[in-house]
């Protein structure tokens, strides 16, 4: 591959690639937090660019909504530009609102570690590099922490990946929803964003094949 072609692929394969004006002109209600949280539980994960991670959890039966945002940092209400500048300590994250009667926290962990991203790459997911793309499983209770740690041990023991899991196990503190144009981005720009086509779509399709029995009826292959 020539240097020019390699550079072009790098430019196309960036989570921030796309028309900002075009993105801001579109809105999605699919990724909005539920107004009524009665009977719902909440989980937060970071696994690289949130566009595909949000879509992955959104497709799970029992998930009411998945919202893109920022977690794990020290700055209040950070912007995408601030997080991308690596100065806030945040990771691109997804907050998942789910019905525990339909899907368990353990199932969410299975999807996160085996279908939503590669948990073995440090501060990187595919072409996206930097601490904002690190893998993090945020826990809200001691029980969730135990489940996360047990799942990591199981994944490592299974040799599912050639390298060990490097996912951070971190106490949840605060989640800041990302700007409107990031919400539901995968579905809104699937046809016009090269990054989605070349990077995100293969991830989502891999997840669908790995968890066919967990998909909402509208997402079944």
Query: If DSSP codes are grouped into helix, strand and coil, which group holds residue 65?
Result: strand
Options 49, 116, 148, 165, the catalytic residue:
49
Half-sphere exposure of 144 (CA within 13 A, CB side): 18
Task: Compute CA 170 distance to the chain's CA centroid, rounded to the nearest angstrom.
Answer: 16
Catalytic residue at 49?
yes
Output the six-digit token pair for 177. Answer: 């929803």
Residue with tokens 């990054």: 195
Residue linked to tokens 């390699």: 6
- Residue partners of 28: CB distance under 8 A and separation at least 6: 183, 184, 185, 187, 188
**Which DSSP string do the residues of 124-187 spell out, in sequence order?**
EETTEESGGG-EEEEESSHHHHHHHHHHHHHHHHHT-SSS----EEEE---EEEPPGGGTTHHH
Residues catalogued as catalytic: 49
């Amino acid at each position: 591959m020539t240097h020019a072609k390699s550079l072009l692929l790098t430019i196309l394969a960036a989570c921030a690639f796309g028309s900002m004006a075009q993105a801001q002109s579109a809105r999605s209600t699919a990724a909005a937090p539920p107004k009524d949280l009665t009977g719902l539980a909440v989980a937060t994960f970071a696994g690289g660019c949130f566009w595909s991670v949000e879509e992955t959890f959104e497709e799970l039966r029992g998930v009411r909504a998945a919202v893109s945002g920022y977690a794990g940092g020290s700055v209040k209400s950070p912007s995408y530009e601030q997080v991308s500048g690596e100065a806030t300590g945040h990771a691109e994250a997804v907050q998942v609102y789910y019905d525990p009667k339909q899907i368990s926290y353990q199932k969410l962990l299975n999807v996160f570690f085996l279908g939503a991203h590669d948990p073995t790459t440090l501060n990187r997911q595919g072409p996206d590099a930097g601490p904002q793309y690190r893998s993090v499983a945020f826990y809200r209770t001691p029980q969730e922490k135990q489940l996360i740690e047990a799942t990591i041990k199981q994944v490592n023991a299974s040799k599912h990946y050639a390298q060990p899991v490097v996912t951070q196990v971190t106490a949840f503190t605060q989640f800041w929803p990302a700007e409107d144009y990031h919400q539901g981005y995968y579905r809104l720009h699937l046809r016009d964003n090269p990054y989605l086509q070349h990077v995100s779509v293969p991830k989502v399709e891999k997840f669908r094949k790995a968890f066919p029995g967990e998909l909402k009826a509208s997402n079944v292959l």
